[in-house]
Structure 1
Amino acid sequence: MALELTTDERNRLFGGPIAAAMAVMAVDMGIVSCVQEVLALGKELAGASSRYASNPLIASLFDPEALKKGLRPEKLQVSADDVRNGKVLDRALEEVDEEMALARSKTDEATAKQFAQLIVDGCVAVAEAAGKGLFGSGEKVSVEEKAALDRIRQHLGLATAT
């Protein structure tokens, strides 16, 4: 059973996974890897409704009829200084907090926790999409990305990967 979400709520909720994933991209940015990471995030989010089919919040977020109207998530507001000073993740987590508060206001804690896991899933897909080598080859998840993923998991109250 899906939840009733307004267009504004859908746009806000969709911004959480995107903001967190963009922060992971910013940790270890490369021109070729960015394309691979964006595609990986898109694939991860496109499959969310089937992976979390029993989650009414995620089902509503990715409702095909609602998606036909389009999504316009707010862009993560970061400055050049935020990027230089490594504050992109801080800004992303602030946005994620807002989206998680909205999720919790719309549903129960177990459902909201699955939404938090969806945010992490998107970040993991981004981190694993490309390595530091030529054309994205090489080790897929850098030390910096691993640290960012651990921080995101911890911030959301999810277990860190081993």
Structure 2
Amino acid sequence: MAALEPRLIRRLDQDTEWLALDPVRARALREAGVHSMMVVPLSARGVVLGLVCFYRAQCPDAYEDDDLALAVQLAARTAVCLDNARLYSRDHSAGQLLQFSLRPPEIPAHTAVETAHSYLPSGPSGDWFDVLPRAAAVMGEIRAAIGALAALDLEPDELLERLHAARHPARRPTDPA
């Protein structure tokens, strides 16, 4: 398998050299009545993901070249699916780390509002202390705006009104004169 080539073994003899090196597997194959097999590597995008083995025991016919061609196609599609899952898992983990790193290290105390928080990742869209589902860039903008407005020590309703006006400039409230 070092060459990553599929192998067709039409007739599996119990005294085959490579099988003699693995007596446990040889006994299991013999007990199952395996007489023909195919071994196909699972590789995609230059990454070896594993090996798939097809055994024939019940059917008296041996595997043929057509069977091997089908097994190679099946293994190729399976390898791409497995590699996609591997890549998704890697990217998902990186996304979760990014989300976690966007949290502020500590929540500042303010006299105008009592703050409580918890962190529950909401998925690929991002989150902000599980209150506002937003993308990562918007989360940073909101955090900066709230920090700046909170420093003014405004009443909560006025702080929220100004935050809303900052996010929606076309709907700015009229200043009382």
What TM-score results when the alignment is normalised by the length of structure 1?
A: 0.24
Q: Mark the structure with the bigger radius of gyration.
A: 2
Higher relative contact order, chain-length normalized (CA < 8 Å, sep 6+) = 1
* Between structures 1 and 2, the one with greater helix share: 1
* Between structures 1 and 2, the one with greater strand share: 2
